Structure 1
Amino acid sequence: MGYEVEAPKYVRLAQTLQGRIEDGTYPPGTRVPSENQLVQAFGMSRPTVVRALELLKRDGWLESRQGYGTIVRGRPAGAEERERRGRDVLTRDESQTAGRLVQVGEVAVPVRVASALGLPKRAKALMRCLLVEEDGEAVELVSSYFPAGLVDGTDLASAEVLESGTRTHLETRKKVRFDHVTERVSARLPDATERELLDLPDGVPVLSVLVIACDASGQALQVSDVLLPADRQELEDTYRLN
Structure 2
Amino acid sequence: MAYEVAAPKYVRLAQTIQGRIEDGTYPPGTRVPSENQLVQAFGMSRPTVVRALELLKRDGWLESRQGYGTIVRGRPEVVEQKDRRGREALERDESRASGRLVEVGEVPVPVRVASALGLPKRAKVLMRRFLVEADGEPVELVSSYFPAGLVEGTELESSEALSGSVREHMEARKKVRFDHVTERVSARLPGSGEAELLGLPDGVPVLSVLVIACDASGQALQVSDVLLPADRQELEDTYRLS
TM > 0.5? yes
Give distance in 2, aligned partners of 1:79 and 1:87. 17
Give distance in 2, aligned partners of 1:239 and 1:177. 30
Judging changes above 3 Å, is the alpha-carbon distance between structure 1 residues 135 and 148 closer, same or farther for their aligned structure 2 residues?
Answer: same
Q: Post-superposition shift, 1:234?
A: 1.1
RMSD over aligned CA atoms reads: 2.0
SS of corresponding position for 1:88: helix
SS of corresponding position for 1:163: coil
The structure whose Rg is larger is 2
SS of corresponding position for 1:90: helix
Residue in structure 2 matched with residue 133 of structure 1 by the alignment = 133
**Contact residue 109 and residue 123 of structure 2 kept, 8 A:** yes
1:212 matched to 2:200: no
Residue in structure 2 matched with residue 123 of structure 1 by the alignment = 123
TM-score (norm 1): 0.65
Q: Post-superposition shift, 1:82?
A: 4.0
Give distance in 2, aligned partners of 1:79 and 1:217. 31
Residue in structure 2 matched with residue 166 of structure 1 by the alignment = 166
One-letter code aligned to 1:156: L
1:229 matched to 2:196: no
Give distance in 2, aligned partners of 1:184 and 1:91. 19
Q: Deviations over 1:147-193 (max 9, x none)?
A: 11110110000000000111100000010000110000000000110
**Contact residue 90 and residue 166 of structure 2 kept, 8 A:** yes
Judging changes above 3 Å, is the alpha-carbon distance between structure 1 residues 232 and 176 closer, same or farther for their aligned structure 2 residues?
Answer: same
Give distance in 2, aligned partners of 1:85 and 1:192. 23
Give distance in 2, aligned partners of 1:122 and 1:111. 9
Give distance in 2, aligned partners of 1:160 and 1:175. 22
Gaps of 5+ in 2: 1-76
Gaps of 5+ in 1: 1-76
One-letter code aligned to 1:90: L
1:180 matched to 2:180: yes
Give distance in 1, aligned partners of 2:240 and 2:153. 51
Moved over 3 A (4+): 77-83, 237-242
Residue in structure 2 matched with residue 87 of structure 1 by the alignment = 87
Structure 2 counterparts to residues 34-49 of structure 1, below 5 A: none
SS of corresponding position for 1:105: strand
SS of corresponding position for 2:187: strand
SS of corresponding position for 1:195: helix
Q: Post-superposition shift, 1:80?
A: 5.9
SS of corresponding position for 2:173: helix
Q: Deviations over 1:16-66 (max 9, x none)?
A: xxxxxxxxxxxxxxxxxxxxxxxxxxxxxxxxxxxxxxxxxxxxxxxxxxx
Q: Post-superposition shift, 1:123?
A: 1.1
Give distance in 2, aligned partners of 1:171 and 1:204. 37
Give distance in 1, aligned partners of 2:90 and 2:180. 11
SS of corresponding position for 1:95: coil
Give distance in 2, aligned partners of 1:80 and 1:235. 12
TM-score (norm 2): 0.65
1:103 matched to 2:103: yes
Q: How many residues align?
A: 166
Give distance in 2, aligned partners of 1:137 and 1:87. 22
Residue in structure 1 matched with residue 150 of structure 2 by the alignment = 150
Q: Deviations over 1:60-90 (max 9, x none)?
A: xxxxxxxxxxxxxxxxx96964452111110
Give distance in 2, aligned partners of 1:235 and 1:132. 18
Q: Deviations over 1:88-145 (max 9, x none)?
A: 1100000001111111010011100010010011211000000010001100000000
Give distance in 2, aligned partners of 1:171 and 1:239. 33
